[in-house]
Structure formats: C-alpha cells, structure tokens
C-alpha cells in the first residue's frame, strides 16, 4: 500500500494538507511492520519503555483491568489509529492494548516521534490533532456511561465507530464490518452481555440497526442518529484546517 493510501495518511489529511516532506516522514513510521495474532497483548499496564504502534489492518482495544478481574474497555482502535502513543511519552503505560483480530501494525519508537516533531512540524501538529480527537472521544464515552441510557449509548458508540471507519475508507452510511462480540461491547458500554443482546434486538425491531454475522447495518441512519443525538463535531472531520 502506498503511503498516500494508508489509513493514517487518510486520517491525518483531514486536519492538515500533508507535504511531500510530511509524507516521507510518515513513510519512515512504517518501516517496522509487524503482525500480531488475535488476543496478543501488545502493551500491558505498568510496562516501562513500551513502543507505540500504528494500526494498518485489523482491530485492537485498549483497556484497564480492575482488581476483581472485571475489564473496562476504554476504546477500540481501527486502521489509522495510534496504539499506545502515551506509552512512549509517559515513563509507564497506564493501560493495556490487545489485538481483537489478527492485525498488522508498524512499531514506532520515541525517537521516531521526536525526530518527526523536529523535522516536520506540520505533521507534528496533525499527530497532536489525532491525540486530541482521541481525548474528545473518551469524553463522549464518559457521557455515554454517565448520562445516556443503554439504547442511546449503544447507538452513539456504533455511530462513532462508523464515522471513524468512513474516515479511513472502510465504512459508509450503510454500515461497516465489525469483529466485535457482545462481550466486547459490554466491556465498553458498562452493560452486561445479556443487556447488550436485549438492546441490539430492540434496536433491530425498531428498524434502526442490525448487528449480525460480523456486520453492523444502519437500517435507518437518520432515525438512529436522532435517537443517539449523535453530533460529529467532536470528531472534527470537516476537512483540512492547515493548508
């Protein structure tokens, strides 16, 4: 895949019009390509001097384990996302990251990021934008858990995933391929798997969304969006800010 077609380039190009110098720097980010199998823990909480990764294919999830063994999924990562960026900026990783499917990812060291910031400041601004957008999503997830009911938070979360995948060219308004199980969704949404199943069935019966056989179908995108009160402003997908 050429650097122009990579998911990361597509994503960052929403914020900044990338120059040839920026693209050359991004190409260097992809030198250390690795494959991880489903279930592999790429970064574990408490790990020191961890690498970061750029996800090219497949899905991953970031999570924290509680003392009683319960897991809270913080977010899912899709192609074009950084995995563990904080892990190379902090001394110690504050969360774990696991491959949800077999994935292809490029390993990025702290020196790669620091050199890129020095050599390509516009690209550095785009990476900062990506990190800030991820933080904005975490804020929305807090609202999901604290203020939205089960149907609203499920609809909002799946619409957000759809918007993120559309950005990198692997989804559209009709839906997207999704490898997540109801247990994954339960860990992300603060619900039981039984409750998730009930919510998805109710949304399907209302003609809003169908999630089966590894695909999410938006049966009525506009009504689903209205139910979730989904506003994409926090995702900042409106086009390059820096030319």
Q: Residue 54: inside a domain, yes or no?
A: yes
Claim to verify: residue 172 and residue 187 sit in the same structural domain: yes
Better pLDDT: 160 or 242: 160
Claim to verify: residue 122 and residue 176 sit in the same structural domain: no
Q: What is the pTM of this model?
A: 0.91
Answer whether residue 237 shows pLDDT above 80.
no
**pLDDT of amino acid 99:** 98
What domain range includes position 52?
Answer: 3-133
Q: Residue 57: inside a domain, yes or no?
A: yes
Claim to verify: residue 147 and residue 117 sit in the same structural domain: no
**pLDDT of amino acid 98:** 97
Claim to verify: residue 16 and residue 89 sit in the same structural domain: yes
pLDDT digits (tens, 9 = 90+) for 178-201: 999 999 999 999 999 999 999 999
Instruction: Give how many domains the chain has, as a whole number.
Output: 2
Among the three residues 74, 99, 133, which one is the final residue of a domain in this structure?
A: 133
Most confident of 21-30, 55-64, 91-100, 137-146: 55-64
pLDDT digits (tens, 9 = 90+) for 5-42: 889 999 998 888 888 888 888 888 888 999 999 999 99
Claim to verify: residue 8 and residue 109 sit in the same structural domain: yes
Claim to verify: residue 121 and residue 156 sit in the same structural domain: no
Among the three residues 133, 152, 177, which one is the final residue of a domain in this structure?
A: 133
CA atoms within 13 A on the CB side of 107: 11
Q: What is the mean pLDDT of residues 74-80?
A: 95
**pLDDT of amino acid 134:** 87
Claim to verify: residue 167 and residue 209 sit in the same structural domain: yes
**pLDDT of amino acid 105:** 96
Q: What is the mean pLDDT of residues 166-180?
A: 94
**pLDDT of amino acid 240:** 52
With a pLDDT cut of 90, the percent of the chain lying above it is: 55
Among the three residues 118, 133, 148, which one is the final residue of a domain in this structure?
A: 133
**pLDDT of amino acid 242:** 45
Claim to verify: residue 96 and residue 12 sit in the same structural domain: yes
Claim to verify: residue 89 and residue 53 sit in the same structural domain: yes
CATH number assigned to the domain comprising residue 85: 2.60.120.10
With a pLDDT cut of 70, the percent of the chain lying above it is: 97
Distance CA 234, CA 136 (A): 6
Q: What is the mean pLDDT of residues 94-118?
A: 90
Claim to verify: residue 217 and residue 169 sit in the same structural domain: yes
Distance CA 137, CA 156 (A): 11
Claim to verify: residue 178 and residue 144 sit in the same structural domain: yes
């Amino acid at each position: 895949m050429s650097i122009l077609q990579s998911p990361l380039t597509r994503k960052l190009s929403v914020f900044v019009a990338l120059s040839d110098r920026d693209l050359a720097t991004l190409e260097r980010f992809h030198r250390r390509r690795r494959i991880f199998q489903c279930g592999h823990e790429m970064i574990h909480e408490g790990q020191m001097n961890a690498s970061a990764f750029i996800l090219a294919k497949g899905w991953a999830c970031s999570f924290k384990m509680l003392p009683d063994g319960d897991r809270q999924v913080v977010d899912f990562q899709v192609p074009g996302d950084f995995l563990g960026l904080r892990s190379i900026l902090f001394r110690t990783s504050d969360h774990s990251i696991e491959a949800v499917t077999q994935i292809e990812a490029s390993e990025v060291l702290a020196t790669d990021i620091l050199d890129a910031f020095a050599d390509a400041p516009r690209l550095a601004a785009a990476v900062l934008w990506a990190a800030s957008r991820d933080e904005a999503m975490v804020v929305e997830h807090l609202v999901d858990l604290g203020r939205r009911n089960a149907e609203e938070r499920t609809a909002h979360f799946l619409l957000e995933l759809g918007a993120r995948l559309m950005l990198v060219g692997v989804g559209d308004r009709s839906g997207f391929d999704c490898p997540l199980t109801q247990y994954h969704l339960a860990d992300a949404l603060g619900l039981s798997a039984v409750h998730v199943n009930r919510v998805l069935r109710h949304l399907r019966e209302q003609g809003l969304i169908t999630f089966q056989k590894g695909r999410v179908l938006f049966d009525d995108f506009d009504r689903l969006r209205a139910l979730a009160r989904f506003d994409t402003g926090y995702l900042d997908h409106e086009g390059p800010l820096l030319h």
